[in-house]
Amino acid sequence: MYLFSLNPRRAAPSNPQKTPMRNRYLLLLMLLPASLAAQSLYFPPNNQNTWETLSPAALGYCPQQIDSLYQFLDINDSKAFILLKDGKIVLEKYFGAFQRDSFWYWASAGKTLTATLVGIAQQEGKLSVDDTTSTYLGKGWTSCTPQQEAKITIWNQLTMTTGLDDGVSNPDCTKPGCLQYQADAGTRWAYHNAPYTLLDSVLQQATGMQLNQFLASRLRNPIGMNGAYIKTGDNTVYYSNPRSMARFGLLLLAKGSWNGTPILADSAYVDQMINSSQPINPSYGYLTWLNGKARFMVPQSQFVFPGSLNPDAPDDMFAAMGKNGQVINVVPSEGLVWIRMGNPPPSETGLIPPVFNNEIWKYVNQLACGAVSTAEMEAEADVRVFPVPFHDRLEIRSAVPVQSLTLFDVRGLLVGQWMPEGAADVSWPLPGTLASGVYWLRVQLTDGAPVVVRVVK
């Protein structure tokens, strides 16, 4: 079941005696010994398999809750899961024939790695994010007019605001004929692979080094990662083992420093990476997804969804996310990093997995003994929608009367709308010919608070 509410009122449940689950989890962490909570980050040694561990019991994790998390990951075709607390491994699980040293692709989670390399190149004075992309790719790298092209900078590539048309037949294509004008740079947010991929060429021209050479010398080798960028069709995709992905997450947690050695020492750039880069989609930094913002957008859509990207994750969480559920989650306030590699889970579609990531967070939040269960959490929700999957109708149960229902496809395009005349319990008939897939249901309540729910047919 992949269904979640983006209602910001979830932070204030209707029953004041019930503390939200995430807050209970944080409370349990606060009750841990002060020496444990205050300890400095641990960094595993390079070129070794040694990595210190921390007992799940030290964090109050229950074995049965860990088993539930692993079962959820297993049935959703995961390959690897690692959870770090202050740099130490608390949970590490591999599924099927996949092993600790097996390689897997990062998909778009590698974008955050590339953003880090751009920051390193800038701190070395080899480029500036304010430079025009034409400075490194030459004039005519797009089909735009010279005036339109001259407005596109490296910053626009990092923030997905180049203004180039992501609706072309092949949005991965980096040839000039595929890079067409849609809007002035900086005025439109659109998740577009091609301008991102061209950062590889920008880095190569700026540094005089191949991408993998620059990566190895500046970041990969200094923090003990393995792996490489591999050209895959029009895209450049990073491959590594799971522990290397976790190492990179730990570097992000440490704000670009590795065991006292600065890797990305430009603190201003690090802050820009993990904070809203522009107001159009505040849930996006520099090729990095941000939680806890008032609204967010998703790839292949111009629809703006209200609420936080991952409502069940801590507000300060930021993430590298890639297709089919490749994710790195970093939570500075908790000293927490966790990664997941694997195949696409059932019913998950799209270039990033925010809904699936949120489902995993529900299980992570339940790891502590005494944490509220998913069933209890759903019982506190303002709006319930079923069945899952649906066929020819949706049943909506709400504590507040429903004013209107609007259904969008995964791209944010309008599918249908209905006015149920203020009933709290609603049964909405839908055509059985509606294509199977993922949809977004917007429930407008009579008290003015909208709820957006992801549903599957």
Q: In this structure, are residues 121 and 214 in contact, taking their beta carbons and an 8 Å threshold?
A: yes
| Structural domains present in the chain | 22-110+205-375 (3.40.710.10), 382-456 (2.60.40.1930)
Instruction: For residue 137, give the 3-state DSSP assignment.
Output: helix
Sequential pLDDT tens for the chain (457 residues): 333 333 333 333 333 333 343 443 443 443 343 333 334 999 999 988 899 999 999 999 999 999 999 999 999 999 999 999 999 999 999 999 999 999 999 999 999 999 999 999 999 999 999 999 999 999 999 999 999 999 999 999 999 999 999 999 999 999 999 999 999 999 999 999 999 999 999 999 999 999 999 999 999 999 999 999 999 999 999 999 999 999 999 999 999 999 999 999 999 999 999 999 999 999 999 999 999 999 999 998 899 998 999 999 999 999 999 999 999 999 999 999 999 999 998 766 677 889 899 999 999 999 987 654 554 444 445 688 888 778 888 998 888 888 888 887 755 667 888 888 778 888 998 887 888 777 778 888 887 767 777 787 7
* pTM exceeding 0.85: no
Residue 103: the pLDDT is 98
Q: In this structure, are residues 10 and 381 in contact, taking their beta carbons and an 8 Å threshold?
A: yes
Q: HSE-up of 357 (CA within 13 Å, CB side)?
A: 32
Instruction: For residue 18, give the 3-state DSSP assignment.
Output: coil
Residue 159: the pLDDT is 98
Q: In this structure, are residues 89 and 51 in contact, taking their beta carbons and an 8 Å threshold?
A: yes
